[in-house]
Amino acid sequence: MLYRTLFAGAALINAVGAWTPPKEVEEAAKASHWAVLIAGSSGYGNYRHQADNGIDPDKIITLAVDDVANDDMNPFPGKLFNKPTGDGTPGTDVYAGCKIDYSGSMVTPETFVKVLTGDAAGLDGGKVLQSTKLDRVFLNFARLSTRKTFEAVAQRLGLNGGIEALPPRAHGAQHVDCHYDVHKAYKSACGELHPEALSFSATMADLCAQQGGSPDAIVKAISAACAA
C-alpha cells in the first residue's frame, strides 16, 4: 500500500504542477492551531453534550455556562467524569484544571461572534481568536439546537446562510470539502487509509484547498496511480 501512496504522490506532481515553493513551506512551518470550545447547554441533564490535542493552552478559548460540576444532581460535587470505570479503578476528573474563559451570562451569540472575529471590545480582556490565514481553527459546539445558535450568530453579523456565511477566519469549508474528496478518492481507488496514506491525503487536501491546486486533477491523479 505504501508504494501506491508514493506513486500517487508522483502522479500528483505531474497533475498540478510542481512542489510547494520554499516560501510557502517556510510560512506553513510558522502556522499554529487554535480552538474555540463552546458548551452551550445548561443543567446537569445535558452534561452528556460536553463530557469529552495537541493545541497550545494559550490558544484554546472555552465558553461554558459552567453550572454542571456544582449542580445538586451531581453525585460528585465539584468534579466531572465522562466515562465509568471498574471497581477499584479511579476515574479521571475532567473538570480539574479546566480553564473556562467565558461562563454564565457571558455565553451568548454576541460573545461567540466577538471571539470568532477577534473583537475583544467589551470582553474585559477575555481571549479572542488571533489566527491568521496560515492557521487552522478547530471549532467544537456542544448543545441542543445548534442551528438556531448559528442563525443568531449570522444575524448579528448581518449575514444570511448560517455557518457558511461566517467570515473566512471562522471556518475552513474549502479545506474540508477538498479533504473529503481526496479521502473518498483514495479509499475508493487505493483501499484502506493506513497511517502513511492518511498523511498523504491530508497533504493533498492542503495543496488543493490552500495553494490553488485543482481538486479534480488531484482526485484523477490518485485514482490513476492506484488503479495502475
Domain boundary assignment for the chain: 2-28+173-227, 33-130
| Cα distances (angstroms) measured from residue 215 to each of 44, 162, 221 | 45, 25, 10
Q: What 3-state class would DSSP assign to 221?
A: helix
Neighbours of 141 (CB within 10 A): 16
Contact 32, 135 (CB under 8 A): yes
| Cα distances (angstroms) measured from residue 106 to each of 47, 95, 170 | 19, 19, 20
Q: What is the mean pLDDT of each run of 10 residues along the chain (228 residues)?
A: 47 48 63 81 72 76 93 94 88 93 90 88 90 81 64 62 47 54 69 57 58 64 65
Confidence at residue 66, expressed as pLDDT on a 0 to 100 scale: 94
Which CATH class, in words, describes the domain spanning 33-130?
Answer: alpha beta
C-alpha cell at 6: 508514493
pTM above 0.95, yes or no: no
